[in-house]
Amino acid sequence: MSHTARQRRLSIIVPALNEAGVIADLLADLDPLRQSGHKVIVVDGGSDDPTAAIAAPRAYQVITAERGRAHQMNAGARLSSGDVLWFLHADSRVPPDAAAAVIEACATGCAWGRFDVRLSGHQVLLRIAERLMNLRSCLTGIATGDQGIFVTRAVFEAVGGFPEIPLMEDIALSKALRRLSAPECIRRPRLLASSRRWEEHGILPTMILMWRLRLAFALGAAPADLARRYP
């Protein structure tokens, strides 16, 4: 890794709501980064479970913010100090070399990017879903939150952060960032994204629903209306 890359500092922002069952695993993945000086900020949206208490010993800071991923991630970004912001879902898992990939990409001039993902379940339909997700993202330059969006602080501030809407905030941010530059699509390593929602609601029905919601958003549907259709 280059000298410039070593100077980069990450602020890793994790929005969470009732994630007591999974957040410790993600924070364990991030422990080496925290110990080397990167900051992990967990932003709780008012959990009814011990999410914040579990996170507190393994995060640089745990704060509470208005419920909603966009509000929570913007609140974390405002408190952060790193020159690269990396947004991770609380139920994701991060391989050891993922942070180095982020740092190296930004050190070589990338303004923002995301990872390919692997869904955590074992069903064949999930393999198809993850491949379609990764391909669609590379072709369109649009990233979803479970793909671990990262962005330099300067560029994040230039676009005004996440639009504070109840759904599709990741899509809206990607569109704003894409106007400035194409994303870095990191193919390896891949993040592990939770497949629990897919499995709870049915893999194929979830795929179809997400396609419909994204199409409706692209055609101008109100995010609040879309959020009511999202399980």
Residue 225, domain member (yes or no): no
One-letter identity of residue 150:
F
Classify residue 114 by burial, with Cβ atoms within 10 Å: 0-12, 13-18, 19+. buried
Q: Per residue in 155-188, pLDDT tens?
A: 999 999 999 999 999 999 999 999 999 999 999 9
The answer, yes or no, to whether residue 41 has pLDDT greater than 60, is yes
Q: Compute the average pLDDT of residues 220-228.
A: 92
Separation CA 217–CA 148 (nearest Å): 21
Q: Per-residue pLDDT tens for 203-222?
A: 999 999 999 999 999 999 99
In a domain, 18, yes or no: yes
* Cβ within 8 Å of residue 149, ≥6 positions away: 86, 87, 112, 113, 114, 143, 170, 173, 174
- Which domain range does residue 183 map to? 3-196
Q: What CATH number is attached to the domain comprising 107?
A: 3.90.550.10
The confidence score (pLDDT) of residue 7 equals 66
Sign of CA dihedral 159, 163, 168, 170: positive
CA 82 to chain centre: 16
Does 214 fall in a domain? no
The torsion angles phi and psi of 48, rounded to 5 degrees, stand at -95, 0
113 occurs within a structural domain: yes
Strand partners, 151: 85, 112
* pLDDT on residue 4: 45
Domain count along the chain: 1
* Predicted model pTM: 0.95
**Residue 202 is assigned to a structural domain of this protein:** no
Query: What is the token pair recorded at 157?
Result: 């501030």
3-class SS of residue 85: strand
SS3 105: helix
CB 123 within 8 A of CB 198: no
Q: How far apart are CA 161 and CA 71, in angstroms?
A: 10
Q: What are phi and psi of 87, to 5 degrees?
A: -105, 125
Residue 131 included in any domain? yes
Q: Flag whether 135 is in a domain.
A: yes
Question: In this structure, is residue 102 part of a structural domain?
Answer: yes
